[in-house]
Structure 1
């Protein structure tokens, strides 16, 4: 991975997206810290850096399309699509709805999805992998050949084992511990 870009994005995540407080995660677990990656992914430079770095994982996984559960996967998927265009990489993007849309085409999987393609489930942060596995089930039902899971930040709380049980190769750009260590090394005032 491009080390200068990786360190710049790590610093942005630590500064913009890391919070220490007691709260409940989407997995239902409680935590004393939270990573709101969208706060970084919706900054122009953050989106650029995340797209470039995650695209490296996408290429290494050999997938032809990627997507994940709305809302978590949307900004990182969009960032990867822009990076793929800049770098001439042929990959498709899509997202999975939490429930089937009741109008239009009434689909769970939306975007440039194609059945049969080698697919990665993507997310901004993974704890247990629960949301991503819900997306995987919908992707497989729609005909995807899901072979990989990719995330921007891996919290190290069970997702790797869950993805292994599903036969998915799992990769990430950062661990939560890296983000926490960066924040501790460079505290943010206020």
Structure 2
């Protein structure tokens, strides 16, 4: 896992809620089928519970062709976590432990980021945190409220960019550029799973911290496989 720039203290201090981590057992000894190691690295309870949900609902093994054209023995559909109510609670528990207290909004490139950002913002509201959400359109809208930003983002906001899964890292970096063009400040990129292991370097080059909730290694797979 890549740590953010040293001038930040990460993760920031936040009051934790134990309810989400009890949604699922966090045992890492469960076998999840061919290709998934039963020797998983230790994680804190919140991440371990999120990992178990991802392995249970979002990981498939077999023969797959990825968006990049590469072949893989496993497929990751993290919307199966981000779009389930128990998954939203687990995802938000981890994300809110990473997000600084002075962040104003969370969002990213539609549609991968949408359920992640909206779910985290909703759970944040139940904890008394005012976190607005937004989407970055893939193309600028030329009628009505024009531009690429849809939602409650405001100029000057400090922003978390999110995504469900990253392999190369192009989607969150595209969102970073759009948010900056809008006049807001991207501070952190966080995703449910960093599959490819390349987003950290791209984020650092763009001047944004990158802290994934989980990595491919946490799930028992190598980066880029």
TM-score by length of 1: 0.86
State the partner residue of 1:58: 99
| 1:22 and 2:64 aligned | yes
Q: Which of residues 167, 176, 179 is equivalent to 1:139?
A: 179
Residues 118 and 144 in structure 1, CA contact (< 8 A), matched pair in contact too = yes
Residues 4 and 157 of structure 1: is their aligned pair in 2 closer, same or farther, counting only changes over 3 Å? Answer: closer
The offset of 1:29, in angstroms, is 5.3
The offset of 1:121, in angstroms, is 1.1
State the partner residue of 1:42: 83
- Flag as ranges the 4+ runs of structure 1 deviating above 3 A: 1-5
CA RMSD of aligned residues (A): 1.8
Separation of aligned partners in 1, 2:71 and 2:170:
16
The superposition leaves residues 32-83 of structure 1 with CA deviations (integer Å, 9 ceiling, x where unpaired) of 12211001111110111112211111137x4221210000001110111112
The offset of 1:31, in angstroms, is 4.3
Separation of aligned partners in 2, 1:106 and 1:58:
29
Q: Which of residues 125, 134, 137 is equivalent to 1:97?
A: 137
- Count of residues paired in the alignment: 178
Separation of aligned partners in 2, 1:131 and 1:109:
15
Residues 156 and 176 in structure 1, CA contact (< 8 A), matched pair in contact too = yes
- Match of 2:89, SS state, is helix
More helix by share: 1
Where structure 2 has 5 or more consecutive residues not aligned to the other structure, the ranges are: 1-15, 22-43
The structure number with the bigger radius of gyration is 2
State the partner residue of 2:51: 10
- Match of 1:97, SS state, is strand
Separation of aligned partners in 1, 2:77 and 2:218:
15
Q: Which of residues 95, 104, 108 is equivalent to 2:148?
A: 108
- Match of 1:172, SS state, is coil
Where structure 1 has 5 or more consecutive residues not aligned to the other structure, the ranges are: 182-190
Residues 163 and 169 in structure 1, CA contact (< 8 A), matched pair in contact too = yes
- Match of 2:191, SS state, is strand
TM-score by length of 2: 0.73
Residues 14 and 180 in structure 1, CA contact (< 8 A), matched pair in contact too = no
